[in-house]
Every structure is written in structure tokens, then in C-alpha cells.
Structure 1
Amino acid sequence: MKHKPAWALALTWVALAGCTTAPPRDQGNLCNIYRQYPRWYEDSLSMQSQFGTPPQVAMAIMKQESSFVADALPPRAYLLWVIPWGRVSQSYGYAQAQPPAWSDFKKSTGKGGSRDNFADAIRFIGWYAAGTQQQLGISKWDAYNQYLAYHEGRGGYSRGTYRAKPWLVQVARKVEQQSKTYGAQLNQCRGELESNRRSFWFF
């Protein structure tokens, strides 16, 4: 596969800075996601450097939560199964972060940014996973349990609320498998991605 020239990468980054980013075309392949959006690779590495959360874990969680839709909203609630009645929660954006958790993130890091900004959202997921490891002892590499704690909240995870939700356990297994797939893919294309990074900064 041909590598993108440095000028093409530069134009891609400029375009990303000026508009809402469309979801990746190939969401099942982390290499193709980062090829399409090189800036996301930079943001993922920055997140890992700051919080130690592997990109494949954070990206698998994000894929499950929003399918990489910047302004994703939770499903609508219905009154009597017919009348629209708001949303089931106040989750929003790439990470589907709720306002209280986002507020904690801003206080903890000193800069929260926006929930519909990829760089801020991937940092949020990395930050949350790091906090989960610190508070609950769940490895940042353990996508299965990290996702359960992310979905239920750390308190809910500690109480075992997920045990009464077989559907959620299945989703967590899906996230776990996606993380493993992403990790294997990333190992295959890391050299290419790093080469593209050097080309961009040289340009």
C-alpha cells in the first residue's frame, strides 16, 4: 500500500481542524482509521503518554459508545412507548460522557475541552480508564472489565450491577474482542504510521 505524501497528510490535518469529522469509513480496522485520520493517531499517542491507556482499548470503547460520531446522542425515551420524552441520559459525543463525569475530568486535568472533539474525548476515555485502574485495580489493558466500569460507573461496577444485565456482558465481550483486533492491527501498521508521522513533521 502506498503511503500518503507529507503534503496530503498536512491537508488532511487542516481539513480536520476546520469542520466536524465524519465517522471513519472502515471502523473495524484501526490501521485504516488512523490512515484516514492521521491526527487521531497523534491524539491517541498523546492520550497514552499522559494516562497509559492503550489506544486499542480506548478506541474500542469509543467505537461501541458512539461509532465515532462526533455529536452522538443516546436513544430517545418514550412515554407509553409512543410519545417522545427526551433522551434516556445526558450522554453526548464521541465518548458518550455524561456531564458529571466530564466535569470531574475537567477539574482533574485542568482542561476539559468539548465532548464532540476527538482529542478531548479520547483523553477522557484514557483518563477514566486510568482512574478505574487506580480505584478498582482493573488493568488499563483489560478492555472487558474497563468497559463494564465505564458503562456502569465505578460504583455500579463495584456493586456488580452488570451481573443482572446479560446483554451488557455480551457488549463488553464485544468490546474486548474489538480491542484485541485493534491491537493486532496496530502492531502490523505501527511502522507505517510512525513513518507518516516523521514525514509530516519534516514537512
Structure 2
Amino acid sequence: MRFANAGTAEVPVRSLLFVLFAAVLASCATAPPKNPSDVCSIFFEKEDWYASARKAQRRWGIPVPIQMAIINQESSFIEDARPPRYRLLGILPLWRRSSAYGYGQVKDETWDWYRTKTGNRSADRDEFEDVVDFIGWYAHQSYKSLGISKSDAYNQYLAYHEGHGGFRRKSYLSKPWLMRVARRVETTAARYRRQLLTCQPSLERLLASD
């Protein structure tokens, strides 16, 4: 009986340790911005994000507001976002609908392509700096291979979602919902652009003071 009691006492202790470990991991995650509809609020809250987005713009030429609008649409700025799982009988979770992951919801094969072509082998899809660089790089490929202006949020998003082959085939024409989403990205980018005009001088001063 002494050993049986000791064994049963271990169960809640193990459970408690598991909960505490999970809580520590959760605390290490980067919380999404409190006001995702306001790009100025985002950048003042996430102090290093503006520098990363500006760096990607200077390297690849895609405007900061379009980068941010794509991330807002894809993940709502949740660093470890994933697609939902298929469910058996609507209950039991099975496999996920795709390998998309992170801020930009980038699939495994596309991320591997980016890392190989840029030499950025240590890039992670849950690191904001790496994801805005990826979005800039991908927009640059869309410009080179498809002729899409880097300031064209609507078509850049369609190419981002459908891939270059899908965009060439105009696969989006059979997806009215996707064209509506692309318009929403375009609208968000335009709002972010207007907002950024009001706070960019302050953001630049903060960068210069670092």
C-alpha cells in the first residue's frame, strides 16, 4: 500500500510539472500586437518590427504597408499560426490541411526555396525579420517573372497565395472568395500607408536614437 500511494501521488505532480512547462513555453511566444488595424500602434508596440520591415523594403522594394497587410491577412500576426486540421466525424483531429506555418503562412517547399536561393539557411517562419524578408523576396520574384508591380498589393497577394504558376494560369478567377480577400489586403495596405505617413518621422527618430 505504501508504494501504491506513492505512485498515485506522482500523477498530480507530473501533471503540474507539465502545466508549468507549457506555461513557460507559452510565455516565451511573441504575443500578437494589441491593435492590428493600426500600423503605427503595431510598430510602437513591437519596437524592432519597423526596422525589420524597412530593411526588407530597402532590400527588395516592396513597401512596408504591403508587407504588413499580407502578414495581417495570413496569420493576424500570430507567430506560430497553422492551418486547421481535418477532423474525423467532425471530432477527432487528423492531419493539417497544408504545411503552411508562421507569420506568413509559408509552406515547407516554398520556404526551402527561399532559404536556398538567398543563402539564409537559418531563417525561421516564426521570426518576424525573416518573414518580412521572405515576403520582399517573393514579391521581387513575382515582379521579375510575372511583371507585377511591387506596389500592387492586390496582384502581389494573388501571386503570393496561388504561386507563380497558379497566377499565370489565372487560377484565382475560379475563386471569387480569394479575389475578395486580395481586395481586403489592398484596402488594409492603403490604410496602413496613410497611417504610416503620420508616424514614420517618429519611428525614424527612434531608430536613429538606438
What TM-score bracket applies, with the shorter chain setting the length? 0.7 to 0.9
Structure 1 counterpart of 2:17: none
Q: Deviations over 1:110-154 (max 9, x none)?
A: 114111011001111111011101100001111111111111111
Local SS of the residue matching 1:77: strand
Which of the pair has more CA radius of gyration?
A: 2
- Output one character per residue of 1:20-39: Cα deviation in whole Å (capped at 9) or x when no partner: 31100010011110000120
Q: Which amino acid aligns with 1:126?
A: G
- Which residue in the other structure is 2:45 paired with? 36
Q: How many residues align?
A: 183
- 1:77 Cα offset (Å): 1.6
From 171, 188, 199, give the equivalent of 2:198: 188
Give the Cα separation in 1 of the matches to 2:146 and 2:89: 39
Q: CA deviation at 1:81?
A: 4.2
Determine whether 1:50 maps to 2:59.
yes
Give the TM-score, by structure 2 length. Answer: 0.84
Cα distance in 2 for residues equivalent to 1:81 and 1:141: 42
2:102 corresponds to which letter in structure 1? G
2:173 to 147, 163, 167: 163
Say whether residues 1:116 and 2:116 are aligned partners.
no
Query: Per the alignment, in what secondary structure is the counterpart of residue 42 of structure 1?
Result: helix
TM-score (norm 1): 0.87
What are the ranges of 5 or more consecutive residues in structure 1 without an aligned counterpart?
1-17
Given candidates 25, 28, 41, the residue that maps to 2:34 is 25
Provide the C-alpha distance between the structure 1 equivalents of 2:90 and 2:179, rounded to a whole number of angstroms: 26
Cα distance in 2, alignment partners of residues 53 and 20 from structure 1: 27
**In the TM superposition, what is the alpha-carbon distance from 1:192 to its structure 2 partner?**
0.8
Q: Which residue of 1 aligns with 2:95?
A: 86
The gaps in structure 2 that reach 5 residues or longer are 1-26
Identity of aligned residues (%): 46
